[in-house]
Amino acid sequence: MRKAMLFLAVFVVAGSLWAADSFVGTWKLNVAKSNANPNPKSQILKIAAQDSGFRWAFDTVDADGKATGGVWSGKYDGKDYSLTENSDFDTVATKKINSNTLDSVMKKGGKVVGTGQEVVSKDGKTLTLTSKLTNAQGQSVSVYDKQ
């Protein structure tokens, strides 16, 4: 009985920590509100807590109808973490500013090629990714709705 109560207590605490991350969940790109260059036809972003960090997984259908995916795992500690399936940058370093805001630095081959900010709305229903890259893509805003 005592072990069962301890297990339940650990489960409840872990669950509340998971729920406390406003970024965790499934997000669908709102193409009409986004201006990525080029905008994909569709994109699903799944953000999960992983160990003491995160895992962002993208499933995208590009403007030509080609399905692609990418994964980014790490911690919100300002250190570089690899990102797969992205030709503009290969690492991202992200710091958590507050419970709803992240600041990021994107690098390609160790050189800074852009910055970004990720913000979850106060009501938790919208995720806005704003990035400014040094390449022709320039600044883009991607708006996601929580599913």
Work out the average pLDDT over 4-26: 53
Q: Which of these, 60, 89, 56, lies nearest to 73 by C-alpha position?
A: 56
Which residues contact residue 119 at a Cβ distance below 8 angstroms, ignoring those fewer than 6 apart? 100, 101, 102, 127, 128, 130
What CATH number matches the domain at 23-146, 2.40.128.20, 1.10.287.130, 1.10.150.110, 1.10.287.3510?
2.40.128.20
Strands 53-61 and 67-74: antiparallel
Say what the pLDDT of residue 120 is.
98
Q: pLDDT per residue over 104-139, tens digit each?
A: 999 999 999 999 999 999 999 999 999 999 877 788
- Our CA dihedral for 54, 100, 102, 78, rounded to 10 degrees, sits at -60
Of 60, 1, 55, 12, the C-alpha closest to 36 is 60
Q: Which two three-digit tokens encode residue 73?
A: 């795992």
pLDDT by residue (tens digit) across 18-77? 446 899 999 999 999 999 877 899 999 999 998 889 999 999 999 899 999 989 999 999
The confidence band for 87, taking pLDDT boundaries of 50, 70 and 90, is confident
**Is the pTM higher than 0.85?**
no
Residue 4 scores a pLDDT above 70: no
Residues ≥6 apart with Cβ < 8 Å to 21: 49, 54, 99
| pLDDT recorded at residue 20 | 63
CB atoms inside a 10 Å sphere around CB 77: 12
In the chain, where the domains are located: 23-146
